[in-house]
Amino acid sequence: MFSQETILTEKINSTKIQAEEFLGFDNQQNFYTTKDNVLFKNNTQNHFEYKNVSLGKITRVDFQNPLQIVVFYNDFNTAILLDNQLNETKKINFNHLSEPVNIGAIALSSQNKLWFFDTITSKIGLYDLTKDTFYWISTSLENPIKYYHSNYTNFYWLDTKNKLYSISIYGTIKAHTELPNFDNIQLINDEIAIYSYENQLYYYKIKTNTNLKIKIAENFATNFFFADGILAIFTQNEITNYKIILP
């Protein structure tokens, strides 16, 4: 059973945008969106965009480092690295490796490497961007990855049974806990997750199984993003930023 309270929010501002999907904002307050399969990066002064029609639909964008953005195209099993102005700096076709892998998850790691999960072997590996080589850091996972999140030193994932795990760059795997059912989720770290379920947002404390309902003005969020205490809600071509007031 989960205890449940309510978290209040304080509206900060809102911004009109033309987008199909709001991806979030980075540590320099640039916000990222996609529309018609084009990636956009905007702030109050600059506007950048990246388009690569030949690679199909954008599957995932990792912008935790605004100077080295990773864009993944699942249709062609290919990752593109971009600089801070969305200029292409590197292209990796994982079909052309010495041992082909099929990418089910990919994200930026430390020391100029990429985390990746291979659906063929069900293993997690690290790809060296300097040497263009890779190595495995896990054995085959018991269940497929349903959702993932990472920082430079740890890769977190929820499997198809909603069980949370993490692995370090040295290959140390930790099993954490089972999370509630969700429609959409953002794992902040191994202690906090924010998720939506049946048109309601929740702030979930993982270690104590505490489920806090987030009160916002919008009845339904197309998607959301949380960082540095700010919850951004995207709905009807508008981003609304809230400050979360923890009890």
CA 88 to chain centre: 20
Tokens of 120: 């063929």
Angle at 121 between CA 178 and CA 153, to 5 degrees: 55
Domains defined along the chain, listed by start: 3-245 (2.120.10.30)
* 247 residues of the chain, pLDDT tens digit each: 344 588 999 999 998 988 999 999 999 989 999 999 999 999 888 999 999 999 999 999 999 999 999 999 999 999 999 999 999 999 999 999 989 899 999 999 999 999 999 999 999 999 999 999 999 999 999 999 999 999 999 999 999 999 999 999 999 999 999 999 999 999 998 899 999 999 899 999 999 999 999 998 776 667 899 998 999 999 878 899 999 988 7
CA-to-CA distance for 214 and 203, rounded, in angstroms? 6
Give residue 199's pLDDT. Answer: 87
What pLDDT sits at residue 1?
33
Name the token pair of 78.
């290919």
One-letter amino acid for residue 51 of the chain: K
Other CB atoms within 10 Å distance of the CB of residue 116: 24
Give the model's pLDDT for residue 247: 72
What secondary structure letter does DSSP report for 22? E
pLDDT given at position 4: 55
pLDDT at 5: 80
Global confidence as pTM = 0.93
Chain centroid to Cα 187, Å, comes to 8
